[in-house]
């Protein structure tokens, strides 16, 4: 106790002495302070180099992903990066010299790997990687070509500084820098003082945060915002905590989650309103085509007078075509798309529903149609266990899952069985199903048009290849001469156009084979693009602004120049959603029109459900034929959202106006609150299995409900 009092007294006296010195000679005190810093730098060269290397890498990953000079010079994330790296490095002073150096290098290697992986991942998903994705690593082997395809030189720039750190170590070792060892007691004091310095930096950083900033790191779904505000290292540490949290919170947070769940669905009554499309497709067979990586821009697109996707264009022209349809996928890509399509829920915030939350109760389209007498099956030319489909499809209510082992792999393109062979063999299987069952619901999952787009392989099986060069007719010496220019040759977008052209041919052959086998009678075909093709902005800029005279881009002041920035790119991610039947009118109602209102994947169940005569209460979308103000909101897993009026980037807190719309009062904050509520409640449903004990009224058919009478 006396010793403790002595230390307190000594510290008090020291503070008093500093105050006296400041009054007498303030310049001298400041000079002494900088001398002590200089002495620290001289005697801790490797530690300072360690901090500098990792902090610079943290700055670079923000710049090369989120982009912009602001991210390069931003004070807040820089302060956070320094604080966490200094804290981690300070722990090394508790170790002996050899272990200390080894520890610093291990931390640097881990930090470098974090930067490289996030740099590559951002290129593909426009987000940052989560440790929860470890559970999906086993699916990476089959798409390794796609991963290699997106890697660029910048993704390895992060290894330069760690290599420099090795050279610094070698140089210091030659000068016997490490042999003048301090006693461990003194080194431990240095560790404590360095940790205190880190804590001070952390407190300064924390004082700059708003309640909104703190709320966003707690939710974690707005990953880009967190990285640009907190830095990559804080994000990654927080991600580890948030990835573990669902396993823990599922045990402790159930009551709060249930309260939010009940409040949300009490406020948002999804009971359907009757409209002209109510029950119009009831009793029909349903064939769902899961169109891998098909984007909307190819519909109606011509190259050198040839349609890129003539069959998709015909389906869109002849059916109900939702031309502003957006998928809402997260890291689970295709599996997320299937999940939302079938359940009306958003993808899980952490992990992937198909892989980590398959032991849950879900109210799904296959299960609801089974109660109406349908036989439900899914078909895929890949292994049935990919994305855990063989298990999750049973959870969703499919009676049968037909995978690779049940197909003859007679044509292989890219990841597996070609789409044409897959469809040809699937039609035979469907014919048998139709003979054995009164009604069926079948999902056909395409595969060939998967990144990195194996166009050379697809060309072997393409009947009428698409020409991705530019043919220009020029007058030379008075004669017309046709000249070919490279245009999209050598680009990923060029490969995609060839690949999607093959996929379109496969869809055309499928429709022909279905018709020949009588499978289009009393059948509705539903086609959706599962997600965008992850194509680069630079390829699209070339696509829209190609200057054949220079083999480059048109200058921005050219009247034909098309501005294609980040938000034009986001809006271009839309995929087709088509509902098609042989009948152009049913009960006097048109089955052939374009719906331009923005629509999300979670809007499929209420729209299709109203038409087929089933109802799911616990969803987040809307029936597209019941929107009275021609406006809808599509919420993305990132927290961004889209309406007919605006694309709102919650990560960058930016608004991109669409057209000349004038936003109503509080439009942005109200939609922000709604988006956050949807993401929270949907995730809670998955994590806490909230549908396990809900009442069964949601399973009633629309005929048995008291339907609100709406227009039509």
Question: Which residues 6+ apart lie within 8 Å of 680 measured at CB?
Answer: 219, 260
Per the structure block, which two tokens stand in for 470? Answer: 């530019």
pLDDT score of 702 more than 80: no
User: Residue range 596-625: average pLDDT?
Assistant: 95
Q: Tell whether 196 and 321 lie within a shared domain.
A: no
* pLDDT tens-digit map of 101-124: 899 999 999 999 999 988 887 876
pLDDT score of 492 more than 70: yes
- pTM: predicted TM-score of the whole model, two decimal places: 0.77
Write the Ramachandran bin of 377: left for phi over 0, alpha for psi from -120 to 50, otherwise beta: beta
* pLDDT tens-digit map of 513-525: 999 999 999 999 9
Rounded to whole angstroms, the Cα distance separating 485 from 475 reads: 15
C-beta atoms surrounding 349 within 10 Å: 23
User: Residue range 151-174: average pLDDT?
Assistant: 83
Q: Tell whether 236 and 317 lie within a shared domain.
A: no
User: Residue range 362-383: average pLDDT?
Assistant: 95
Predicted pLDDT of residue 709:
41
pLDDT score of 246 more than 70: no
Predicted pLDDT of residue 135:
54
Higher pLDDT, 30 or 362: 362
Higher pLDDT, 27 or 558: 558
Supply φ then ψ for residue 44, to 5 degrees.
-135, 45
Q: Tell whether 373 and 462 lie within a shared domain.
A: yes
In a domain, 593, yes or no: yes
Q: Tell whether 231 and 317 lie within a shared domain.
A: no
Per the structure block, which two tokens stand in for 467? Answer: 């020409």
Q: What is the mean pLDDT of the chain?
A: 86
Q: Tell whether 226 and 276 lie within a shared domain.
A: no
The residue from 252, 275, 290 where one domain ends is 252
Residue 3: pLDDT band (50, 70, 90) is: very low
In a domain, 18, yes or no: no
Per the structure block, which two tokens stand in for 215? Answer: 């709320």
Q: Tell whether 239 and 274 lie within a shared domain.
A: no
Write the Ramachandran bin of 43: left for phi over 0, alpha for psi from -120 to 50, otherwise beta: alpha
Of 303, 42, 79, which Cα lies nearest the Cα of 180?
42
Residue the block writes with tokens 């079948």: 442
Predicted pLDDT of residue 1:
47
CB 393, CB 401: distance < 8 Å: yes
What percent of the chain has a predicted confidence (pLDDT) above 90? 57
Rounded to whole angstroms, the Cα distance separating 297 from 299 reads: 6
Predicted pLDDT of residue 340:
97
Q: Tell whether 510 and 532 lie within a shared domain.
A: yes
In a domain, 35, yes or no: no
Total domain count, the chain: 2
* pLDDT tens-digit map of 54-96: 999 999 988 888 777 777 778 888 999 999 999 999 998 888 8
Predicted pLDDT of residue 124:
65
What are the residues facing 593 on neighbouring strands?
Answer: 320
Per the structure block, which two tokens stand in for 689? Answer: 């299995």
Strand order in the sheet with 654-657: 634-635, 641-642, 646-649, 654-657
Q: Tell whether 549 and 623 lie within a shared domain.
A: yes
Half-sphere exposure of 101 (CA within 13 A, CB side): 15
Predicted pLDDT of residue 531:
95
Angle, in degrees to the nearest 10, between helices 160-174 and 97-125: 170
pLDDT score of 219 more than 70: no
In a domain, 36, yes or no: no
Q: Tell whether 372 and 510 lie within a shared domain.
A: yes
In a domain, 39, yes or no: no
Predicted pLDDT of residue 32:
57
Angle, in degrees to the nearest 10, between helices 667-687 and 254-267: 130
Predicted pLDDT of residue 433:
97
Supply φ then ψ for residue 467, to 5 degrees.
-95, 115
CATH code, domain with 514 = 3.40.720.10
Q: Tell whether 78 and 194 lie within a shared domain.
A: yes
Predicted pLDDT of residue 332:
83
Rg (CA), the chain: 30
Rounded to whole angstroms, the Cα distance separating 236 from 80 reads: 12
pLDDT score of 611 more than 90: yes
CB 605, CB 621: distance < 8 Å: yes
Predicted pLDDT of residue 711:
35
Residue 593: pLDDT band (50, 70, 90) is: very high
Rounded to whole angstroms, the Cα distance separating 635 from 620 reads: 10
- For the chain, how many residues are written? 712
Lowest mean pLDDT among 165-169, 220-224, 544-548, 702-706: 702-706
* pLDDT tens-digit map of 626-651: 987 778 999 999 999 999 999 999 88
The residue range of the domain holding 335 is 258-709
The residue from 204, 219, 252 where one domain ends is 252
Residue 480: pLDDT band (50, 70, 90) is: confident
Measured CA distances, 181 to 98, 172, 184 (Å): 11, 13, 9
Q: What is the DSSP string of 87-132?
A: HHHHGGGGS-HHHHHHHHHHHHHHHHHHHHHHHHHHHHHSS---GG
pLDDT score of 700 more than 70: no
Lowest mean pLDDT among 324-333, 341-350, 697-706: 697-706
pLDDT score of 180 more than 80: no
Rounded to whole angstroms, the Cα distance separating 64 from 62 reads: 6
Per the structure block, which two tokens stand in for 47? Answer: 């530690």
CB 548, CB 537: distance < 8 Å: no
In a domain, 5, yes or no: no
What percent of the chain has a predicted confidence (pLDDT) above 70? 84
Measured CA distances, 436 to 430, 520, 523, 612 (Å): 10, 16, 16, 21
In a domain, 14, yes or no: no
- 503 burial level (CB within 10 Å; 0-12, 13-18, 19+): buried
What are the residues facing 600 on neighbouring strands?
Answer: 326
Rounded to whole angstroms, the Cα distance separating 66 from 330 reads: 17
The residue from 193, 227, 252 where one domain ends is 252
In a domain, 602, yes or no: yes
Q: Tell whether 584 and 659 lie within a shared domain.
A: yes
* pLDDT tens-digit map of 417-475: 999 999 999 999 999 999 999 999 999 999 999 988 988 999 999 999 999 999 998 87
The Cα diameter of the chain in Å comes to: 107
pLDDT score of 495 more than 90: yes
CB burial of 506-538 (b: ≥16 within 10 Å; e: otherwise) equals bbbbbbebbeeeebbeebbbbbbbbbbbbbeee
* Max mean pLDDT range (221-230, 395-404, 625-634): 395-404
Q: Tell whether 452 and 304 lie within a shared domain.
A: yes
Rounded to whole angstroms, the Cα distance separating 397 from 486 reads: 49
Q: What is the DSSP string of 459-526?
A: HTT-SS----SEEEEEEETTEEEEEEE-TTTTSHHHHHHHHHHHHHHHHHHHHHHHHHTTTTTTEEEE
User: Residue range 49-57: average pLDDT?
Assistant: 92
Residue 27: pLDDT band (50, 70, 90) is: low
Q: Where are the alpha helices (DSSP H) in 253-388?
A: 254-267, 310-318, 333-343, 353-356, 365-370
User: 190-193 — which CB contacts under 8 Å span 24+ positions?
Assistant: 190/44, 190/93, 191/90, 191/91, 191/92, 191/93, 191/94
Higher pLDDT, 548 or 125: 548
């Amino acid at each position: 106790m006396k010793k403790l009092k002595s230390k307190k007294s000594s510290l008090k006296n020291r503070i008093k002495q500093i105050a006296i010195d400041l009054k007498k000679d303030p310049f001298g005190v400041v000079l002494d302070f900088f001398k002590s810093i200089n002495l620290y730098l001289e005697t801790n060269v490797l530690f300072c180099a360690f901090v500098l290397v990792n902090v610079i890498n943290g700055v670079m990953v923000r710049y090369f992903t989120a982009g912009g000079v602001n991210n390069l010079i931003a004070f807040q994330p820089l302060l956070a990066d320094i604080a966490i790296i200094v804290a981690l490095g300070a722990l090394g002073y508790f170790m002996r010299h050899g272990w200390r150096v080894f520890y610093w290098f291990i931390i640097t290697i881990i930090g470098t790997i974090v930067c490289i992986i996030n740099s590559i991942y951002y290129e593909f998903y426009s987000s940052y990687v989560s440790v929860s994705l470890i559970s999906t690593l086993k699916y990476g082997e089959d798409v390794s070509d796609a991963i290699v395809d997106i890697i660029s030189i910048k993704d390895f720039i992060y290894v330069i500084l760690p290599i420099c750190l090795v050279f610094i170590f070698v140089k210091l070792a030659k000068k016997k820098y490490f042999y003048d060892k301090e006693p461990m007691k003194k080194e431990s004091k240095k560790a404590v003082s360095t940790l205190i310095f880190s804590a001070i930096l952390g407190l300064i950083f924390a004082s700059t945060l708003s309640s909104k900033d703190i709320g966003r790191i707690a939710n974690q779904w707005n990953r880009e915002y967190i990285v640009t505000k907190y830095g990559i290292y804080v994000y990654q540490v927080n991600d580890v905590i948030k990835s573990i949290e669902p396993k823990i919170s599922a045990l402790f947070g159930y009551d709060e989650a249930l309260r939010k769940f009940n409040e949300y669905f009490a406020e948002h009554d999804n009971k359907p309103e009757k409209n002209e499309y109510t029950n119009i497709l009831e009793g029909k067979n349903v064939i769902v085509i899961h169109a891998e990586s098909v984007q909307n821009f190819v519909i109606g697109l011509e190259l050198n007078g040839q349609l890129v996707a003539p069959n998709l264009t015909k389906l869109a022209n002849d059916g109900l075509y939702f031309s502003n349809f957006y998928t809402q996928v997260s890291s689970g890509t295709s599996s997320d798309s299937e999940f939302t399509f079938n359940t009306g829920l958003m993808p899980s915030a952490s992990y992937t529903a198909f892989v980590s939350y398959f032991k849950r109760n879900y109210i799904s389209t296959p299960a609801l149609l089974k109660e109406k007498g349908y036989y439900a099956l899914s078909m895929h030319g890949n292994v049935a266990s990919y994305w855990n489909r063989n298990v999750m499809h049973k959870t969703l209510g499919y009676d049968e899952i037909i995978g690779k082992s049940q197909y003859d792999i007679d044509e292989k393109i890219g990841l597996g069985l070609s789409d044409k062979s897959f469809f040809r063999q699937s039609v035979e299987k469907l014919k048998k199903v139709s003979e054995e069952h009164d009604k069926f619901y079948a999902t056909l999952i395409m595969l060939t048009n998967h990144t990195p787009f194996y166009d050379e392989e697809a060309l072997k099986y393409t009947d009428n290849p698409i020409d991705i060069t530019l043919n220009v007719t020029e007058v030379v010496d008075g004669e017309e001469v046709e000249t070919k220019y490279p245009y999209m040759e050598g680009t990923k977008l060029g490969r995609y156009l060839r690949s999607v052209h093959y996929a379109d041919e496969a869809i055309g052959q499928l429709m022909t084979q279905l018709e020949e086998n009588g499978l289009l009678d009393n059948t509705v075909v539903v086609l959706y693009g599962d997600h965008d093709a992850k194509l680069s902005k630079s390829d699209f800029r070339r696509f829209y602004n190609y200057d054949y005279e220079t083999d480059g881009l048109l200058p921005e002041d050219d009247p034909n120049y098309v501005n294609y920035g980040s938000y034009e790119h986001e809006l271009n991610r839309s995929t087709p959603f088509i509902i098609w039947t042989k009948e152009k009118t049913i009960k006097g109602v048109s089955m052939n029109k374009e719906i331009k209102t923005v629509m999300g994947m979670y809007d499929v169940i209420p729209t299709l459900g109203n038409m087929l005569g089933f109802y799911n209460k616990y969803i987040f979308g809307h029936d597209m034929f019941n929107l009275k103000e021609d406006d809808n909101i599509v919420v993305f897993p990132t927290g961004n959202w889209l309406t007919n009026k605006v694309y709102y980037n919650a990560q960058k807190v930016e608004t991109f106006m669409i057209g000349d719309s004038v936003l109503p009062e509080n439009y942005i904050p109200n939609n922000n609150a709604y988006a956050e509520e949807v993401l929270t409640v949907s995730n809670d449903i998955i994590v806490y299995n909230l549908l396990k004990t809900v009442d069964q009224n949601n399973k009633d058919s629309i005929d048995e409900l008291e339907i609100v009478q709406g227009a039509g």
